[in-house]
Amino acid sequence: MNMNDMVLVSVDDHMVEPPGLFDKHIPAKYKDDVPKLIQREDGTDAWVFEGAEATNVGLNAVAGRPPDEYGAEPTKLSEIREGCYNIDERIRDMNANGVAAALNFPSFPQFCGQYFARAKDKELGLAVLRAYNDWHIDEWCGAYPGRMIPQALPPIWDPQLMADEVRRVAKKGCHAVSFSENPTKIEHPSLHDPHWDPFWQACSDEGTIVNLHIGSSSSVVITSLDAPVDTMITLQPMSIVQAAADLVWSPMLRKFPDLRFALSEGGIGWVPYFLERIDRVYKMHRAWTHQDFGDKTPSEVFLERVALCFIDDEFGVANRDKLNMDMVTWECDYPHSDSTWPLAPETLDIYLDGLDDDEVDKITHENALRLYNFDMFSHIPKEQLTVGALRAQATDVDLGFRSSERLKKDGTDTVSVLDLASKIAT
């Protein structure tokens, strides 16, 4: 397939929340109590809620910076590319990257709303969380129908409230929810505990996919205090294998046969060996561990029910015959340092070279649209959503590097995506 004819849907991007997001959605009695974006004395920005500051306003939102300026920063909106927090500019950045639609994970609330869960006043916490979800669905995703896949945050402190929220947002067209890959690390019961059953039941009933993003347990892989950050960056995607094992051996996939999960930003290259290993464990140990998958193997259940997501994974694509190609999806990870923006099509095309067109379509968009119950083409014709068609709308988007010391253009020439691709190729 010609790269410009591909339709790209990313199941893992990120946004940085703008100030005032709660204004139109919070009940009047709570309007003075919502999280607020403040500027500290040192000039950095912070979200404050019930006196507690969120850890970072835009963790690793480094799109457009020179690579030698990547890091855990930035710490204020003025250091961030506008497409991180401005929906109009985000669509322009997506067009420049040839991306038709994307699902976005949150920044300051954390992956499964931990920041809201820490509220002392739980009624306020629930009101704020619902207002956040409404803003995300109605404004961030609603501004450009067909371009943003909605995702909700759960009131993780109460499984019945979680179930209620899943059902509430499903009525608004949202069929994705972010959850933790290891809730014990955020002081909640494990994935093996029936505590979560009301939540699983609601997700199963509503066709809502549960996204388990790396780092959603508010933790990273640290082998030692002496290890360089490269160690953590290397291991973090593969660490999702722990959640994969929990999913397979816990009862929830067998108890809720319509429940589906996605391992967000976990990659796919490790999966073939994982499948081999779980089937061997079942064969060798089931007599005394008392696992029972009926007439299926653990690998068959995993492949049927767990969506896999990759950014850049040559080995995984090459070994796709070991995977379920109806459950493999692609992600861009904008605006983080692992992202392939603004050259996602060029990067992906290397690994998709030689695949049949139907396999390319599954990976690039068909699986994502089905799994997330997102009817993109009812809003925009397919021919207007190809890489080539979208990039034709974005020739004026400046893709040149912007140093953190100056985010505004000051006399530099606009750089096109074709210029960047040419430089990389040479």
Per the structure, how many domains does the chain have?
1
What pLDDT was estimated at residue 423?
39
User: Three-state secondary structure along 33-49?
Assistant: CCCEEEECCCCCEEEEE
What pLDDT was estimated at residue 339?
93
What pLDDT was estimated at residue 215?
86
Which residue is listed with tokens 């694509």?
A: 317
Q: What is the DSSP letter of 264?
A: E
- CATH number at 220 reads 3.20.20.140
**Residue 10: beta bridge partners?**
102
Assign 410 a pLDDT band (cuts: 50, 70, 90). very low
Q: How far apart are CA 90 and CA 84, in angstroms?
A: 6
Q: Which tokens is 199 given?
A: 């939540």
Peptide bond before residue 154 is cis, with ω within 30 degrees of 0: no
What pLDDT was estimated at residue 72?
62
Instruction: Show the domain range for 414.
Output: 3-425
Average pLDDT, the chain: 91
**pLDDT average, residue stretch 293-320:** 96
pLDDT per residue as tens digits for the range 45-94: 999 999 888 877 777 888 888 777 776 666 788 888 999 999 999 999 99
Which residue is listed with tokens 């429940």?
A: 259
Give the global pTM. 0.92
Is residue 413 scored above 70 in pLDDT?
Answer: no
pLDDT per residue as tens digits for the range 146-204: 999 999 999 999 999 999 999 999 999 999 999 999 999 889 999 999 999 999 999 99
What pLDDT was estimated at residue 182?
92
Q: Which tokens is 173 given?
A: 């067209």
What pLDDT was estimated at residue 173?
98
What pLDDT was estimated at residue 38?
92
What pLDDT was estimated at residue 306?
98
